């Protein structure tokens, strides 16, 4: 469950997948000669684990089973499960072919075997990488960092420059985790670090990557903009493309397998991964194992954002402890010309063994904490829902708006706000610039200025309903002069989001295309290409896709829009969490409008996402 609420018999325990898994467990247990008291407990455990992983958890909690068996203590349930011959204690994991489907650790976490293996492998990879240290040339690096962060020194005065400190930390180590909200300087830090690395070794093999194509493109674009002040010879050495993680690792025909792994590592010396909060456990494990042991791995993200759609909350866990040891502080002080007494990281959320690897950026350069979006984001993260509502109701700050529309359907004011948001896009569609490429660029720019973000896909306040509403409005505006045929879903200006990777067409989950005519007047779906160009794809050839006037907050991760209308459900819902609200609000760079009743806003701020996991426990273990 996204909010960490225990699964119960009143929730969808009859889920087909969970019931099927429980049925298989019982068959296997019977064949293995399990004692008669084991099947009921085993079946409940199987359902619980299956439902937990579907809800984004890595494991289930043994304590949650007690409500199904009130006559049993957690210890008795543990003994029963271990006796079923389908569950292995974590410290006694057998080898093939005697592997059992479930693992129970000493803290009462119950895992599917593969998720426990992922967690243990990822922990081992992170531990080994965190232990590796380089020997930076102190004087040379200090001079470079002083030059690269000179502007910061004038702005900060006596305050420590955490961007500069993070660059030095990444130089000395092989694992660096940088967490910060939008506009806090993560890209600036990456550019400075790359400048230092490439100045020392112009042949350094550097890769940029992100979980989605949109996030990868934004990362590359941001890096190019920030690198404008570097010497031309260094600009020429910067990476010229950014990859999706799946493309970087090399997808193979076998599901879940990649061409690059521990036995065939990536041919790189440094990897920078943006939007790392979107990493699920399985992908994070495979990524870390594919990076050569001596290569630098820099993970960039926002610990306060939504976690991955799949199981795990890897980034929030590994970035939970920004502790710096005394020895590290002494070295950073020498490398950055910062008095050691001023290098004081914030206290950990949860202590982890990743000391000297984590930095938090808290100062936003996009919007100050006193600005509308900055203040709203800060209130959300602090759980101050009532205070946020009171402020929204009375503020004159034009960067934020609130429509307290809690109706089951949408009120007229909300519908009008959506139509107004897409007005510049509609106008761009009907403006016929003589140069087709320029026209397409203008249409895409207008489309990216505004987006409706929803918490859910269904209901009158969900993605499907909003897409239908805006589609009808746009078709009425542009007419049907370019319609392929009557009743066709394709019309001038229809934006679509790709939902499934297609490596032949080089289209990836999250890519956005817009339906526009080609030179012959035929409607094609145009996607941004290399060097600010566009490439057309016939609608019939597209992989699975959906209209994209509205999208879920999850799908919007890695994106940025000038203006966002964030539409929440009419009733409190466990899906609407603090992290979802914060992520939606911070997709906006200039203005955000919340559409929700007061009760659901207050509830969302109080409802934190908690995912069951044992990654931090695995990090503290020794051995493989």
Q: Which residues fall in the annotated binding site for ATP?
A: 180-187
Cis bond before residue 97 (omega within 30° of 0): yes
Please, which residues have CB within 8 angstroms of residue 543's CB and are 6 or more apart in sequence?
A: 498, 499, 500, 501, 502, 505, 507
Structure-token match 């790189």, residue found = 268
Give the whole-angstrom CA distance, residue 26 versus residue 298. 44
Could you list the residues known to form a binding site, using ranges: 180-187
Q: Which helix (H) or strand (E) holds 273?
A: strand 270-273
- Strand ranges (E), 472-605: 495-498, 512-517, 523-528, 534-537, 545-547, 550-552, 561-567, 588-595
Query: What does the CA dihedral 343, 128, 276, 112 come to, rounded to 10 degrees?
Result: -130
Q: Give φ, ψ of 178 to 5 degrees.
A: -115, 120
Give the whole-angstrom CA distance, residue 150 versus residue 266. 35
Give the whole-angstrom CA distance, residue 430 versus residue 436. 13
Give the whole-angstrom CA distance, residue 443 versus residue 526. 11
For residue 319, what are the CA distances in angstroms to 103, 179, 279, 323?
26, 7, 13, 10
Region of 559 (left: φ > 0; alpha: ψ -120 to 50; beta: rest) is: beta
Own/partner contacts of 236-239, CB < 8 Å, gap of 24 or more, are 237/198, 237/202, 237/204, 238/194, 238/198, 238/206, 239/206, 239/207, 239/208
Pairing of strands 523-528, 512-517: antiparallel
The DSSP symbol for 50 reads H
Give the whole-angstrom CA distance, residue 29 versus residue 42. 9
Give the whole-angstrom CA distance, residue 245 versus residue 301. 15
């Amino acid at each position: 469950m996204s909010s960490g609420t225990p699964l119960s018999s009143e929730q969808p325990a009859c889920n087909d997948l969970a019931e099927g898994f429980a049925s298989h467990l019982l068959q296997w247990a019977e064949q293995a000669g399990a004692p008669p008291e084991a099947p009921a407990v085993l079946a409940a455990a199987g359902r619980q684990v299956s439902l937990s992983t579907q809800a984004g958890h890595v494991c289930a909690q043994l304590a949650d089973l007690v409500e199904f068996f009130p006559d049993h203590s957690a210890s008795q349930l543990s003994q029963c499960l271990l006796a079923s011959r389908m569950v292995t204690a974590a410290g006694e994991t057998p080898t093939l072919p005697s592997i059992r489907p479930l693992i129970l650790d000493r803290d009462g976490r119950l895992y599917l075997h593969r998720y426990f293996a992922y967690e243990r492998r990822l922990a081992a990879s992170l531990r080994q990488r965190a232990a590796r240290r380089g020997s930076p040339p102190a004087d040379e690096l200090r001079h470079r960092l002083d030059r690269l962060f000179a502007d910061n020194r004038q702005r900060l005065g006596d305050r420590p420059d955490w961007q500069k400190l993070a660059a030095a930390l990444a130089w000395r180590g092989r694992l660096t985790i940088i967490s910060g909200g939008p506009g806090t300087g993560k890209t600036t830090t990456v550019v400075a670090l790359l400048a230092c690395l490439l100045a020392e070794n112009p042949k350094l093999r550097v890769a940029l990557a992100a979980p989605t194509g949109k996030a990868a493109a934004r990362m590359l674009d941001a890096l190019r903009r920030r690198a404008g002040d570097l010497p031309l010879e260094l600009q020429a050495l910067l990476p010229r493309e950014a990859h999706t993680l799946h493309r970087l690792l090399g997808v193979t025909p076998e599901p879940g397998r990649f061409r690059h792994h521990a036995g065939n590592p990536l041919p790189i010396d440094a990897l920078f991964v943006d939007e790392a909060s979107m990493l699920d456990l399985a992908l994070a494990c495979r990524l870390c194992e594919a990076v050569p042991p001596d290569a630098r791995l820099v993970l960039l993200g926002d610990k306060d954002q939504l976690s991955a759609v799949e199981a795990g909350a890897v980034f929030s866990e590994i970035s939970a402890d920004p502790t710096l040891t005394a020895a590290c502080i002494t070295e950073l002080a020498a490398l950055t010309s910062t008095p050691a007494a001023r290098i004081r990281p914030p206290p950990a959320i949860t202590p982890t063994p990743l000391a000297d690897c984590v930095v938090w950026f808290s100062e936003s350069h996009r919007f100050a904490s006193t600005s509308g979006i900055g203040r709203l984001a800060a209130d959300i993260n602090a759980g101050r829902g009532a205070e946020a509502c009171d402020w929204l109701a009375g503020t004159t700050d034009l960067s934020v708006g609130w429509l307290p529309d809690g109706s089951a359907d949408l009120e007229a004011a909300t519908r009008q706000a959506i139509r107004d948001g897409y007005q510049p896009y509609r106008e761009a569609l009907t403006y016929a610039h003589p140069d087709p490429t320029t026209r397409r660029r203008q249409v895409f720019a207008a489309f990216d200025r505004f987006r409706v973000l929803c918490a859910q896909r269904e209901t009158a306040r969900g993605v499907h309903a909003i897409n239908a509403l805006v589609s009808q409005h746009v078709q009425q505006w542009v007419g049907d002069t370019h319609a392929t045929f009557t009743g066709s879903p394709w019309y001038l200006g229809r934006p679509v989001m790709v939902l499934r990777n297609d490596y032949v067409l080089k289209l990836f989950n999250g890519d956005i295309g817009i339906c526009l005519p080609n030179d012959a007047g035929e409607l094609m779906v145009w996607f941004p290409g290399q060097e600010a160009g566009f490439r057309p794809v016939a609608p019939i050839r597209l992989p699975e896709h959906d209209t994209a006037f509205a999208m879920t907050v999850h799908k919007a991760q890695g994106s940025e829009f000038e203006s966002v209308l964030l539409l929440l459900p009419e009733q409190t819902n466990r899906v609407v969490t603090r992290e979802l609200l914060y992520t939606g609000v911070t997709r906006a760079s200039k203005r955000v409008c919340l559409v929700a009743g007061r009760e659901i806003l207050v509830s969302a701020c109080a409802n934190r996402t908690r995912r069951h996991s044992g990654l931090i426990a695995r990090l503290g273990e020794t051995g493989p």
